Amino acid sequence: MSPPTDNAFAVAPKPLDNIEAVTIRFAGDSGDGMQLAGTQFSDTSALVGNDIATLPDFPAEIRAPAGTLAGVSGYQIQFSSQDIFTPGDAVDTLIAMNPAALRVNVNDLRPGGIVIVNEDAFVEKDIRKAGFSANPLEDDTLARFTVHRVKINSMTEKAVEGLGLSNREAGRCKNMFALGLVYWLYDRPLDATLNFIAAKFAKVPNVAKANTRALKAGHAFGETAEMFASHYHVDKARLAPGTYRKITGNEAAALGLITASRLAGRDLLYASYPITPASDILHEISRLKKTGAMTFQAEDEIAAVGAAIGASFAGLLGATGTSGPGVALKSEAIGLAVMTELPLVIVDVQRGGPSTGLPTKTEQADLFQAVFGRNSECPVVVLAPCTPADCFQTVIDAFRLAVRYMTPVMVLSDGYLANGAEPWRFPKLADLEPIRIPAAGQNGHEHFLPYERNADLSRPWALPGTPGLEHRIGGLEKEDVTGNVSYDPANHEHMVRLRAEKVSRAHIEGRELIWYGDDSGDLLLVGWGSTYGAIAASVRRARKKGLKVSHCHLRGLNPLPAGLGEKMKKFRKVLVPELNLGQLCLILRARFLVDARELSKVQGQPFTISDITSGIDAALEEK
C-alpha cells in the first residue's frame, strides 16, 4: 500500500514488533460508524489468517443524543495467532471518538494499554456531557495508559477537502481515518476495506473517494506522525488446514436453515416479525431467495409462527425466529404444533429481559421459557449452539430432529452469538448428511390414520394435495392412532405420556455435548450456549495450573444428554456458569439430585475468562 503522500520516501519505516494476541475496541457515538469500523477490522484480520472473536455492543436507540453516555456504541475484537475462545477480557487498545466513549470504556483498558482519542471531540460541552469534571486529557485520569491524542475530525476534513462534500458528509468519514490508523498500528492491509468502500459507494464516487482518502490518511498518519514509536504484527493463527470464511451467529443460522432445506429436499418458509437481535436472520434469508428459500414478514409474532406451522402442515420446512418477548407471544401456537405433531424450528435469539429488557444486550434467561413455557404438559426439543458458527450445525440438527420426531424444536442462540463473528471452516453440501423424511401412506387401512406411529413414536407427515390421505388435525386432544377428537380420560393420559416419551428420545447423537478434560476430578463446569468460549478458555488455564477441572458443554438441553447424571457424579463439585440466575443449574439439581452450584452473571454482557476463573478458584477453595 502506498500512503497518499508525495514525500513518503522521506520517512524511515518504524520497527515492527511481533505479538501473540491483541484486543482492541472501537468506541464512539452511535452515529460514528464504530460497528462498521469494527466489522471491517474483523474482516481484514480474518482474511490475513488470524483467529478472531468479536463483541459488538451498541445501544437500543438508533441515534441517542450526540455525545451522551447512553449513545456510546462499541465494537471489540480479539485477534490472535493462537486459537482463541473469547473477544478478550481486558482491552489493549481503545479508540475513543469522544469523551463519552472514553468514559464508558476506559475502565476496561488494561494498565499500560493504548488509548487513541479523537482530540477534536474533547470540547468543554462534550466533556461535561460525558460527566467529566475536567478535561481527562489534561489531568491524571489516563495516567496509567499510553495516550495518543489525534485530531481525527480536522485531519479527516482536510483529507476529503475539494471533493464537494458537505460538512456532515465529510464528518462521516472519520471512522475510516481511525480505522486506517489502527490498520497501520497492527500492520493490516487496506485492500479488503478499499474494495468494500468501492462496492458500497459505487453510485456516489465522491463519497467513495472521500472514504478512501480518509482511510489512507489515517494509515499514513500512523507511519509519519512522531507519536507512534513502533507498531505491531500478529502472525497467522495455526488453525486447522482448510478453507475459511468469517461468519456471525445470525448469518450461520440463516445459512443453516437454507442448507437444511437442501438436505431435506423441501422448500423453506422462514416467517418472522422484526425483533432485535434476530432480524438479521430474516434479512439474510430474504437476500438469498435465489436458493429457493421463502420469507414472510408477518404482521406479528403469532402470525409468523402460525404461517410457519401452516407451511409445515403443507409440507415445507417451516421456521420462525425471534427473541424472548416473541417466544412468549408464540407459545400458544407452539403448543398447537406439539398437539398436532408438526415439525417446526423456532430460533430464539435471547436478549436481556424481562419484558423489553435490554434489546441489544445478551442473556441466557429463556431456558425455562424454552423448556417449560407453555400451558400444560407441552414438551419441545431444545438445542443451543455454542459459538457463532455452531448456529449452522445446530439449526440443521434442529430440522433433522423436527422432521424425524414430528415436533417443534427450539434453538437458543443469543445476542452475543448472533452478532459476534469468528472464522469458520465451512463444509461443502456433499459433506453433510441428507435429512431423510419417512413417507406417509394409508398402510393398508381403509382410512388414513394420521396418528399411527412408527418406531420413533412419530406420526406420518401427510401433505395436502395427496389423494387418499385427507385428514383433519387440530388443538383438541387426539385419539391415539385415528387422530379423532377424544375426551376419553385414559386416552388423554396416554397421549400426554406418549408426547413426552417421543420428545425424550430426540437426541442429536454424537453432538449432544462437548467434553474437555478428564472424566472425573474435583470440579466439573457444566455450561450451555454462548458461554462456551469463556468456560473453555478458563478450564484450559486451570488445567495448565494442574487443577482437576473438566468442562461439559451441552448442545442438547431437552432432552438432556444420556448419562449426564452419572458423568456429573464423578466429580467432587459441579459448577454451572450461566448468564441467568441459575436455570440450567436448577434443572440439573432437580433431574439428577446433584449438588450443582450456580455461577451467575446477568449484566447484559458475556462472561469474561476471569469471571469463570474466579468462579473455579472459589469453588475449589470452598471445602
Under the criterion CB under 8 A, does residue 530 sit at the interface with another protein? no
Out of 426, 438, 494, 582, which residue is the one contacting another protein (CB under 8 A)? Answer: 426
Under the criterion CB under 8 A, does residue 498 sit at the interface with another protein? no
Contacts of residue 214, defined as CB under 8 A and 6 or more positions apart, other chains included, come to: 156, 159, 160, 173, 174, 176, 177, 180
Under the criterion CB under 8 A, does residue 336 sit at the interface with another protein? yes
Under the criterion CB under 8 A, does residue 243 sit at the interface with another protein? yes
Task: List beta partners, residue 575.
Answer: 525, 597
Rounded Cα distance between 345 and 285, Å, is 15
Interface with another protein (CB under 8 A), residue total 75
Which amino acid appears at position 136 of this protein? P
Which residues, numbered 5-24, are part of the site for another protein (CB under 8 A)? none
Which residues, numbered 294-313, are part of the site for another protein (CB under 8 A)? 294, 296, 298-300, 302-313
Residue window 34-73: x/- pattern of binding to another protein, with contact defined by CB under 8 A: ---------x--xx-x------------------------
Rounded Cα distance between 93 and 91, Å, is 6
Please identify, using beta-carbon distances, which residue of 152 and 421 lies nearer to another protein: 421
Task: List beta partners, residue 91.
Answer: 109
In the numeric block, which cell numbers belong to residue 490? Answer: 385414559
**Minimum distance between the CB of residue 272 and another protein, rounded to whole angstroms?**
12
**Minimum distance between the CB of residue 305 and another protein, rounded to whole angstroms?**
8
Stretch in the footprint of another protein (CB under 8 A) among 72-80, 122-130, 238-246, 396-404: 238-246
Residue window 218-237: x/- pattern of binding to another protein, with contact defined by CB under 8 A: ------------------x-
Residue window 257-296: x/- pattern of binding to another protein, with contact defined by CB under 8 A: -xx--x----x-x-x----------------xxxxxxx-x
Strands 381-383, 556-558: pairing is: antiparallel
**Minimum distance between the CB of residue 506 and another protein, rounded to whole angstroms?**
23
Out of 190, 316, 560, 584, which residue is the one contacting another protein (CB under 8 A)? Answer: 316
**Minimum distance between the CB of residue 479 and another protein, rounded to whole angstroms?**
11
Out of 466, 488, 519, 545, which residue is the one contacting another protein (CB under 8 A)? Answer: 466
Tell me which residue has cell 402460525. 306
Contact in structure between 199 and 55 (CB atoms under 8 Å) = no
**Minimum distance between the CB of residue 50 and another protein, rounded to whole angstroms?**
10
Out of 469, 542, 574, 576, which residue is the one contacting another protein (CB under 8 A)? Answer: 469
Please identify, using beta-carbon distances, which residue of 31 and 310 lies nearer to another protein: 310
Query: Which among 296, 297, 300, 294 is positioned nearest to 332, based on CA atoms?
Result: 300
Out of 162, 164, 205, 474, which residue is the one contacting another protein (CB under 8 A)? Answer: 474
Under the criterion CB under 8 A, does residue 428 sit at the interface with another protein? yes
Contact in structure between 80 and 163 (CB atoms under 8 Å) = no
> What are the angstrom distances between the C-alpha of 493 and each of 213, 433, 506?
72, 37, 21
**Minimum distance between the CB of residue 237 and another protein, rounded to whole angstroms?**
8
Rounded Cα distance between 574 and 579, Å, is 17
Which residues, numbered 187-216, are part of the site for another protein (CB under 8 A)? 192
Please identify, using beta-carbon distances, which residue of 299 and 501 lies nearer to another protein: 299
Q: Is 597 helix (H, G, I), strand (E, B) or coil?
A: strand
Stretch in the footprint of another protein (CB under 8 A) among 77-85, 111-119, 469-477, 527-535: 469-477
Contact in structure between 558 and 407 (CB atoms under 8 Å) = no
Out of 134, 204, 227, 485, which residue is the one contacting another protein (CB under 8 A)? Answer: 485
Please identify, using beta-carbon distances, which residue of 142 and 239 lies nearer to another protein: 239
Stretch in the footprint of another protein (CB under 8 A) among 81-89, 254-262, 437-445, 534-542: 254-262
Dihedral (C-alpha) 50, 52, 57, 58: value to the nearest 10 degrees? Answer: 50
Out of 171, 357, 475, 521, which residue is the one contacting another protein (CB under 8 A)? Answer: 475
In the numeric block, which cell numbers belong to residue 393? Answer: 450445525
Contacts of residue 219, defined as CB under 8 A and 6 or more positions apart, other chains included, come to: 1, 3, 180, 181, 183, 184, 190
Tell me which residue has cell 387418499. 468
Please identify, using beta-carbon distances, which residue of 395 and 596 lies nearer to another protein: 395
Q: Burial, 366: exposed, middle or buried (Cβ in 10 Å; 0-12, 13-18, 19+)?
A: buried
Stretch in the footprint of another protein (CB under 8 A) among 200-208, 246-254, 374-382, 614-622: 246-254
Contacts of residue 180, defined as CB under 8 A and 6 or more positions apart, other chains included, come to: 190, 214, 215, 216, 217, 218, 219, 220, 221, 222
Out of 111, 112, 467, 510, which residue is the one contacting another protein (CB under 8 A)? Answer: 467
Out of 134, 476, 500, 593, which residue is the one contacting another protein (CB under 8 A)? Answer: 476
Under the criterion CB under 8 A, does residue 146 sit at the interface with another protein? no
In order, the DSSP letters of 145-196 are SEEEEE-HHHHHHHHTTTS---HHHHHTTHHHHHHHHHHHHTT--SHHHHHH
Rounded Cα distance between 173 and 13, Å, is 26
Q: Is 622 helix (H, G, I), strand (E, B) or coil?
A: coil
Under the criterion CB under 8 A, does residue 433 sit at the interface with another protein? no
